[in-house]
Amino acid sequence: MQLVCKTERMSLVRLDPTSAQLVLDYVNRNRAFLKEWETERNELYYTKSYQADLLESEVKLIEDGLLQKVWMLYEDRIIGSISLSNIVRGAFQSCHLGYRMDGSLVNRGFMTEGVQAMIDYAFEVMGLHRIEANIMPRNTASLKVVEKLGFYDEGLAVKYLKIHGVWEDHIHMVLRNTAME
């Protein structure tokens, strides 16, 4: 476990395969809650070995500069994760933001607190210019997180992502690092 930063209430950490049980506890605890927002998962996903393999894959992507992912630790348990994925350098200097939260802690400000820390990391440490988040219109809690943090609506991506067999529209939310402009 490697500390990336601390917020007022949490530690944001990078995990490796040795933390697979912590992650498995989180995904099992939130299986029903996350089902509405995530792609279909097979039963293998809910095993320690599968989570260890995912963590190993994430370590490699982080080493290659294509991903930054942190797990949110609160009271010695994982309560969510935040990722900056599809990192593109060169003329773009951009990434996609993704996050997921423990269903028992929704609407308590944890995700806003964590995402703000990752925005700071993306802009100040990584030197990125643009963060993009694609969110289903009915996911009002998620939209509130990014709206509070200054993201703006750049339009609707029609039938953007397949969630449980249905192609879902997503609102394309963007935050720019205007200090770079």
pLDDT tens for 19-68 read 999 999 999 999 999 988 888 899 999 999 999 999 999 999 999 999 99
Domain boundaries, the chain: 2-180
CA distance 72 to 179: 28
pLDDT single digits (tens) 103-124: 999 999 999 999 999 999 999 9
CA gap 174, 79 in Å, rounded: 25
Are 38 and 163 a contacting pair, CB within 8 Å? yes
Query: What's the CATH architecture for 2-180?
Result: 3-Layer(aba) Sandwich (3.40)
180: which 2 tokens? 């770079």
What are the DSSP calls for 77-91, one per residue?
A: EEEEEEEEEEEE-TT
| pLDDT tens digits for range 74-110 | 999 999 999 999 999 999 999 999 999 999 999 999 9
**86: which 2 tokens?**
């599809």
The whole-model pTM stands at: 0.95
* Residue 152 β-bridge partners: 174
